[in-house]
Amino acid sequence: MPLRLLIIIVLAVTWWPAAARGWYPRLERETILDPANPAPVVGSIRPYLPAPGETLIELARRSGTGYRAITRANPGIDPWLPPAGREITLPYSFILPAFAGEGITINLAELRLYYVWHENGQTRVRAYPVGIGREGWDTPLGNFTVVSRVKNPSWSAPASIREKSPGTPAMIPPGPNNPLGGFWLGLSIPGYGIHGTTKPLGVGRRVSHGCIRLYPEDIKDLFRRVSLDTPVWIIYQPVKVGLRENRLYIEVHSSETIREDDLLKEAMRQISALNWQDPLDLAALHKAIWEQRGVPTPISLP
């Protein structure tokens, strides 16, 4: 058996979660942030060989990465028919957004929620893939707080939804048919919140009516960590630049509203803000902006 194939199989056995969950980094030690690093690269990308007939849609759910994250990280691969024996990249690594302070930060550009907290004198981070508002039901940008915490919530359908879908019940009680899932974190903007879902394949997509959806396992984990008055920042940041072991990285997410030239300008602005003085790999920089794979990519020369 080839050595690389053996390594991938061993990784899959040793770190694959016993139950599906989306939050990462997978290794506990990787959740600790270095206070001296203003823009840390967190976590590790993992290789994976899909089983025969396994689609990227299924793998997104099983690996907990979210649909768009896994398809963007693997360009050119048919999400319904991945080539047999083709290695898949699982995007378990990220650059922490510049605005991510203690509390919750949701970056709509990458469909990811970050939770930063302090524990035993250390600052830690955990990331969760999310589903957000679809076109016409955009998730709002801004600074908010958590104003309610409800386990087993009921769902009251807004009038706007009942008008577009007349058969929608006015209220759905807690249970398997409740679109909020098992947990609700209400935000200070009325009608919006962070919650679970009965349709986990929608995580990592623009599918909601504006709220933020998490995998059922993830909202359960986040809910127990978050208290009332926790700050929530909802941002749109398709370009992030970060540092790891004296190397410079960039992470670019696809944007429907920002041109590549402007993405490059934003990347250079962030590089300047980090006071980076060493040479850049300009070919790698331009390639990352053009491909927009959503994974940290080195752009400094070794």
Any idea which residues carry the catalytic annotation? 195, 211
Ordered alpha helix ranges (H), the chain:
3-15, 56-63, 67-73, 159-164, 216-225, 260-273, 282-291
Partner residues linked to 74 by β-bridges: none
Q: Return the residue matching tokens 């920089």.
A: 285
* CA–CA dist 103, 114 (Å, integer): 8
> Which amino acid is present at 59?
L
Other CB atoms within 10 Å distance of the CB of residue 286: 14
Report which DSSP code applies to 302: -
Distance, in Å, from the CA atom of 247 to the CA atom of 297, rounded to the nearest integer, reads 10
Tell me the DSSP string of 177-193: T-TTTTEEEEESSTT-E
The residues that bridge with 280 in the sheet, in sequence order, are 300
Asked if residues 201 and 67 have their Cβ atoms less than 8 Å apart, the reply is: yes
By CB atoms closer than 10 A (0-12, 13-18, 19+), residue 150 is middle
